[in-house]
Structure 1
Amino acid sequence: MASTTQARVEAPVSASEILDIKPPSAVMEAVEDIVYGSVAGIVGKYIEYPFDTVKVRLQSQPDHLPLRYTGPLDCFKQSIKADGVLGLYRGISAPLFGAALETSSLFFFERIGRETVYGSGLVPRDQHLPLSALWFTGAFSGVFTSFILTPIELVKCKIQVPETEAGVVKAPLRPIPVIRDIWRHQGLWGFWHGQMGTLIREAGGCAAWFGSKETSSTLFREVNIRNAKTPAQVEKATHGDLPLWQQAMAGASAGMSYNFLFFPADTVKSRMQTTPIGDSSLNRTFLSEARALWKQAGLKGFYRGCGITVMRSAPSSAFIFMVYDGLKKYVPLS
């Protein structure tokens, strides 16, 4: 199969051949990316969503008013007191759809990124990609996924942060009215408000997400090989699956790297996306929003909510990779 695929890449083909000839394994692998990525994303979203709600509320506090929350614990307490525990899951329907779409897109575009590297001829198809290439395929995936993700996160953020009027918290928003208002006030392009922040976060963050996972997995495998005492143990350490705890650690390191390294971009994006529809500050660019935050709170303001985000990303990302890899191994479609 590898040699056949390589020949197909090197030899010119007609448009009809491209349309009519599709390797079944490649098609089914794409289906697996979409289906299994969706399942993994939904599992991860249920784990992380309450922490994400707190993170967005911390990030989006106005720069012209005193801080409403003193920190993550205070935000948890106030939120639960106001809305109960279920209030932390406010608006989860759209994010569940978004998580399924995001995670499946990440794995799907990451595979396309790998095919792009192989197709360039830089790496033979019968060889594993080096770690540097895997960091690139992660960034490749993040760039394309950001355009899918921005509209979903825009709706999510507006639902997560309660609007106030004359000091009174207004009724929780719902996805359809939010979508309708965005369309009415800003048109189609309004759904990509905050795109620059999402692009920076996803391109850099996904490079770290896939890259850290692969780097950690490689380091674990090397340690296992060094510690192997028999030829059978060496073979298992070289070609077998990593122990479950090592898979979890690799996935957790990926999530923590993704969230910590580019958190300031996410903070600016959240502030832009939680601006009430019709507010004049909607005209702020990514840079002007960043300058306003720097003037208000300095560097510390860009990392507001970072600790809780990194904390929740560890189990969430671990489960995402474990569910995805487990489904790929034990429930193959191809």
Structure 2
Amino acid sequence: MSLSASAMASSGAPSVLAAPSVVPAKPRAAATEVTEDVLYGSIAGVIGKYIEYPFDTVKVRLQAQPDHLPQLYRGPIDCFRQSIHADGLLGLYRGISAPLVGAALETSSLFLFERLGRDTLVWSGFCPRDVPLSLPALWFTGAFSGMFTSFLLTPIELIKCKIQVPGETASGTAASASATVHRRPLEVVREVYRQEGIRGFWHGQLGTLIREAGGCAAWFGGKETSTMLFREYNIRNAKKQQASPEILAKLSSDQLPLWQQALSGASAGMSYNFLFFPADTVKSRMQTSTSYGPGGTRRTFMDETRMLYKQAGIRGFYRGCGVTVARSAPSSAFIFMVFDGLKTHFPLA
């Protein structure tokens, strides 16, 4: 089921333009919808994480190269080559246990908070209860979802990034992929808590907030926009073939063909990752850096931004962008296809 399904259920009349969604047969209990969001979002998130994780490891290693040391990698292909030569393909999955938990938590939270965002718009009176949500409203609920999810996600990403990235050798030079210390998540948790206390787990929160709020607006909103355009395309073609009113009504409510679902999800994932990639780069550098700012304090978001711009200019903010956008296409496509498929074919009530 798509994002605006519950809004359509309340109106009882599907709208092709405003709500390109599957219409439930009858209104459903809020507790059932929430349970499905959490359960099916978790499953979809875990599947998506297995697909994207090797590319994410390369992305983080490219982003986190220290500004005071020679660059370790010439680009994504070189990073893949060095990493696989050092540890084999499985080395690219190092530290995946925490991200799998994080992926389940993140994806289920995104769908759950997106639902709460829609409910908030209705409760506040900004959107009438008896009409489907408009596309601008769905872009807003995506931002709402990303904003709240960022606070859950930052500690998990901090642990993941520290595991993925090689540290420094005793001589102060950057370690190559072959010298990566195999650290376990609990070791990193203890280290962060010992050095910085509870607050240390939210180092880089501003970067995560910017990425998630803006990116999730594009993720949810972009997916719904693509879905709407595909529905219009399918209905126009059906009208040219003089399809019956029953078929037209079915096209306006049924799930899209799999290839259209995949393209909608893929375009959403690519938009999410490309539009706010610089914020993610700064966040990754903050979470993996062993350097400190004036007075021995950890670098702030602006400190890290200035240092990166001074070192590499605008291009530095897009290290690993290509591989990230590429891996987000299949990952996001599968997340939406799995989530919508489970909601449609395996409803809990």
* Same structural fold, with TM-score higher than 0.5 when normalized by the shorter chain: yes
Which residues of 2 match residues 233-248 of structure 1 at below 5 A? 233-248=247-262
Partner of residue 289 from structure 1, selected from 304, 307, 310: 304
Q: Could you give the per-residue CA deviations for residues 19-43 of structure 1, whole angstroms, max 9, x where no partner exists?
A: xxxx971011111110000000000
Deviation at 1:170, TM superposition (A): 4.8
- What residue in structure 2 maps to residue 158 of structure 1? 162
**C-alpha distance in 1, partners of 2:114/2:256?**
21
**C-alpha distance in 2, partners of 1:275/1:131?**
40
SS state at 1:283 partner? coil
Deviation at 1:164, TM superposition (A): 2.5
Is it true that 1:44 corresponds to 2:48 in the alignment?
A: yes
SS state at 1:267 partner? helix
Q: Could you give the per-residue CA deviations for residues 254-279 of structure 1, whole angstroms, max 9, x where no partner exists?
A: 10000000000000000000123xx4
Percent identity between matched residues is 68
- What residue in structure 1 maps to residue 219 of structure 2? 209
SS state at 2:313 partner? helix
Aligned AA for 1:187? G
Instruction: Out of 168-177 and 249-258, give the one that drifted further.
Output: 168-177
Moved over 6 A (4+): none
**C-alpha distance in 1, partners of 2:184/2:259?**
39
- What residue in structure 2 maps to residue 310 of structure 1? 325
Deviation at 1:122, TM superposition (A): 2.5
Answer whether contact 2:44 2:335 (CA < 8 A) is retained.
yes
Root-mean-square deviation over aligned CA pairs: 1.7
Instruction: Out of 163-172 and 240-249, give the one that drifted further.
Output: 163-172
**C-alpha distance in 1, partners of 2:309/2:228?**
39
Which residues of 2 match residues 3-18 of structure 1 at below 5 A? none
TM-score normalized by the length of structure 1: 0.91
Partner of residue 269 from structure 1, selected from 283, 300, 303: 283
Deviation at 1:111, TM superposition (A): 0.1
Deviation at 1:107, TM superposition (A): 0.2
- What residue in structure 1 maps to residue 129 of structure 2? 125
**C-alpha distance in 2, partners of 1:269/1:305?**
14
Aligned AA for 2:105? L
- What residue in structure 2 maps to residue 97 of structure 1? 101
Answer whether contact 2:60 2:165 (CA < 8 A) is retained.
yes
Q: Could you give the per-residue CA deviations for residues 109-148 of structure 1, whole angstroms, max 9, x where no partner exists?
A: 0000000111122322222100000000000000000000
Deviation at 1:173, TM superposition (A): 1.2
Which residues of 2 match residues 182-221 of structure 1 at below 5 A? 182-221=192-231
- What residue in structure 1 maps to residue 338 of structure 2? 323
Partner of residue 237 from structure 2, selected from 202, 205, 227: 227
Partner of residue 280 from structure 1, selected from 292, 298, 309: 292
Answer whether contact 2:165 2:180 (CA < 8 A) is retained.
no
TM-score normalized by the length of structure 2: 0.87
Q: Could you give the per-residue CA deviations for residues 276-295 of structure 1, whole angstroms, max 9, x where no partner exists?
A: 3xx43461110110010000
- What residue in structure 1 maps to residue 24 of structure 2? none
Instruction: Out of 239-248 and 292-301, give the one that drifted further.
Output: 239-248
Aligned AA for 1:300? R
Answer whether contact 2:43 2:104 (CA < 8 A) is retained.
yes
- What residue in structure 2 maps to residue 178 of structure 1? 188
Aligned AA for 2:107? T
Aligned AA for 2:340? D
Deviation at 1:332, TM superposition (A): 0.6
**C-alpha distance in 1, partners of 2:184/2:275?**
32
**C-alpha distance in 1, partners of 2:183/2:81?**
21
- What residue in structure 1 maps to residue 14 of structure 2? none
- What residue in structure 2 maps to residue 260 of structure 1? 274
- What residue in structure 2 maps to residue 16 of structure 1? none
Aligned AA for 2:342? L
**C-alpha distance in 1, partners of 2:343/2:304?**
42
- What residue in structure 1 maps to residue 63 of structure 2? 59
Aligned AA for 2:217? A
| Unpaired segments ≥5 residues, structure 2 | 1-5, 12-26
Deviation at 1:67, TM superposition (A): 1.1
Q: Could you give the per-residue CA deviations for residues 130-174 of structure 1, whole angstroms, max 9, x where no partner exists?
A: 000000000000000000000000000000001121355252111
Answer whether contact 1:201 1:265 (CA < 8 A) is retained.
yes
Deviation at 1:235, TM superposition (A): 2.2
Deviation at 1:233, TM superposition (A): 3.3
Answer whether contact 1:162 1:172 (CA < 8 A) is retained.
no
**C-alpha distance in 1, partners of 2:339/2:255?**
14
